């Protein structure tokens, strides 16, 4: 029996989101694509580094997601930076809208992947980090890296 990992193919991820935000919860959304965008995504031509998610009229929209035009698409290619709709259950959207509007959270795309042939976006409910939080995170990573290095050296001796 195949596992979930075997059915997913990562297209793009947003490492900067984990650096700039505390990710409280993660949600999986479908994405509405048109024309040759699917073929371009299968070739890995997608970037979500500068993108964000907005809730308007009870619907989720991803802004600033760049899907480069498909090379062989000629007239069927669409605007690479167009606004794309995300698919999610209405009850989850209402819950997210309440948290974003009241508690000061923001929605950030974390990664884009194919799951069982369907394009998916994982979004995170995030709270912004202050500069000292970012420094603390970097210091923790450095300490963990040094500890791993010391452990590796001790094993070889």
Q: What is the pLDDT along the chain (157 residues), one digit of tens a residue?
A: 455 566 788 998 988 888 888 899 999 999 999 888 888 888 888 899 889 999 999 999 999 999 888 888 777 778 888 899 999 999 999 999 999 988 888 999 999 999 988 999 999 998 887 887 788 888 888 888 888 888 776 665 5
CA distances from 104 to 36, 99, 101, 107, 113 (A): 37, 7, 6, 10, 28
For domain 5-128, the CATH architecture is Beta Barrel (2.40)
CA dihedral sign of residues 30, 31, 35, 39: negative
Q: Which residues of 53-73 are buried (b: 16+ CB within 10 A; e: fewer)?
A: bebeeeebbbeebebebbeee
In 3D space, the residue among 90, 103, 93, 153 whose CA is nearest the CA of residue 123 turns out to be: 93
Main-chain phi, psi angles of 22, to 5 degrees: -90, 120
Main-chain phi, psi angles of 20, to 5 degrees: -90, -15
């Amino acid at each position: 029996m195949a596992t979930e990992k075997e059915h997913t193919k990562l297209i793009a991820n947003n490492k900067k989101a984990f650096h700039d935000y505390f990710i409280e919860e993660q949600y999986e959304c479908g994405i509405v694509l048109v024309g040759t965008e699917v073929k371009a995504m299968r070739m890995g031509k997608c970037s979500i580094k500068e993108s964000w998610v907005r809730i308007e009229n009870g619907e989720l929209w991803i802004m600033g997601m760049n899907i480069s035009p498909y090379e062989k698409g000629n007239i069927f290619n669409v605007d690479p930076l167009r606004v794309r709709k995300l698919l999610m259950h209405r009850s989850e959207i209402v819950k997210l809208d309440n948290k974003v509007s009241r508690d000061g959270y923001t929605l950030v795309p974390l990664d884009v992947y194919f799951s069982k042939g369907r394009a998916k976006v994982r979004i995170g409910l995030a709270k912004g980090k202050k500069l000292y939080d970012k420094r603390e995170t970097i210091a923790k990573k450095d300490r963990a890296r040094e500890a791993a290095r010391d452990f590796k050296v001790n094993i070889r001796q």
